[in-house]
Amino acid sequence: MSGRERLLRVFRHQPIDRVPVVPFIHANFVREFYGDSDVDVITRTIDVHEHFGFDIIHRNCSPVYDSVGPSADGWQVERQVEVDGRDEITRTTVHTPRGDLSEVFRLVWISDYDAEATPVDYLIKSEDDLSLLIEFMPRTCEINTSSIGAAKLILGDKGITAPWVQGAFNLASYYYRSLEHVVTDALINPDFYHRMMEFLLERNIRACAQCIDAGADVLSYAANTASGKMVGEAFFREYVLPYEKRLIDSIQSRGAHVLYHNCGYASKLFGVYRELGMSAYESLTPPPYGDTILEEAVQQMRPETVLSGGLDQIDFLKTARPDEVRAKVKSILETVRERGGFILAASDYLSEQTPYENLMALADAGREYGGL
């Protein structure tokens, strides 16, 4: 059974020869593996998976999301980039016929091979700002999806493409307005909140469609801002679920699968997660970095939802002995064996300086104990 067939059959709930073993390998780990910050991550991501004997879910082919987009009639974009070593601050001003919008984005290298890009000043600061977006922002911003097609071509039957997209709530609370404000908006100014969410949802649907058309088998669906640490089930059900479900339904109606990602606190949302209808859910993050108990997740999540994750990559994979990794893998697979529909993975992307012998042990134990 090829790697591609094994993974697609898992998502389709069809019989497979063994549980796939797919730790989330982000660009940072690929760069560290080759000791090169400028390495071709499209090609080398595949090579790294194969080196350790992992199945391949290729996420490092994600298009860059541009929250502002290019200039157009009534939408003139100016950018200034300030460089400080490897770090950058991008200041963007958008001129419209009825006023200006502004945004500040910061890219900071947190290690030799890993960088974080975060807004520090958001595009939507007021209801007037949202009105300017709705009136003047180009309806569809064409996304450069060439990275998806390139990864798919190189992969062949080895694995599947799974570029990242933002979930409905994530898109609003990461790119356009601060998380704290978005949560407050929902509670004290719901008309504004719903107006914003509807506008951004329609843009998101079109962006996701472009990724699928480019060859994405799965969309890695970032949904971590509405975590169980930030919102409760009642809030999620009223203000988050309707938008997430519409986006998930739109994606899956086009033939792609949704791999719904919450890498933190999630257990008190499992009840409402059952209603989202996503193909798969990750990352089953155990304490202390999350609150998921694997045995409870197996019982609470819908049998139709593939589960992925369960292995701590922050502490355990970096400090355990290979025999301890093997024992942990065996325990995880015994826990999920009767349920089925499982992908053995870490709780989030692999940390740099993870011992290679532990990753070899992970792959070997997954193949040994994951037979079905």
pLDDT in tens, 174-198: 999 999 999 999 999 999 999 999 9
* Average of per-residue pLDDT across 226-250: 97
* Cα-only R_g, the chain: 21
Mean per-residue pLDDT for 136-156? 94
> Is 372's pLDDT higher than 80?
no
With tokens 């039957």, the residue in question is 157
Q: Which residue has the tokens 């073993």?
A: 21
pLDDT score at 40: 97
């990559």: which residue's tokens? 313
Residue 105 contacts by C-beta under 8 Å, 6 or more apart in sequence?
Answer: 89, 90, 92, 117, 118, 119, 120
In this prediction, residue 171 carries a pLDDT of 98
Q: Does the pLDDT value for residue 141 go beyond 90?
A: no
What pLDDT does residue 142 have? 86
Tell me how crowded residue 112 is: count the other CB atoms within 10 A of its CB.
12
Strands 115-121 and 280-283, by their bridges, are unpaired
* The predicted structure's pLDDT at residue 139: 86
- pLDDT grade, residue 143 (50/70/90)? very high
Average per-residue pLDDT in the chain? 97
Please state the rounded mean pLDDT for residues 98-110: 97
Give the burial class of 209: count Cβ atoms within 10 A of its Cβ; 0-12 exposed, 13-18 middle, 19 or more buried: middle
**Those residues with Cβ within 8 angstroms of residue 164's Cβ, 6 or more apart along the chain or in another chain:** 59, 62, 219, 220, 222
Element (H, E) at 93: strand 87-96
Strand 99-109 with 115-121, pairing? antiparallel
**Other CB atoms within 10 A of residue 64 CB:** 8
End-to-end CA distance of the chain: 13
CA nearest neighbour of 62 among 283, 263, 216: 216
- Answer left, alpha or beta for residue 128, where phi above 0 means left and psi between -120 and 50 means alpha: alpha
Q: How confident is the model at residue 232 (pLDDT cuts 50, 70, 90)?
A: very high
CA distances from 353 to 288, 344, 360 (A): 20, 21, 14
- pLDDT score at 110: 95
Our CA angle for 118, 175, 144, nearest 5°, is: 95
Residues 319 and 313: their CA atoms lie apart, in Å, by: 9
Quote the crossing angle between the two packed helices 41-52 and 146-155, to the nearest 10°: 40
Question: What is the pTM assigned to this prediction?
Answer: 0.97
- CB-based contacts of 13, cutoff 8 Å, min separation 6: 304, 306, 340, 341
Closest CA to 11 of 256, 247, 358: 256
What is the tens place of the pLDDT at every residue in 257-295?
999 999 999 999 999 999 999 999 999 999 999 999 999
Burial of 132 (0-12, 13-18, 19+ CB in 10 A): buried
Query: At a CB cut-off of 8 Å and minimum separation 6, what does 327 contact?
Result: none
What is the model's pLDDT at position 238? 98
pLDDT exceeds 90 at position 101 = yes
Q: What is the mean pLDDT of residues 142-152?
A: 96
Range 3-65+143-369 has CATH code 3.40.50.150 = no
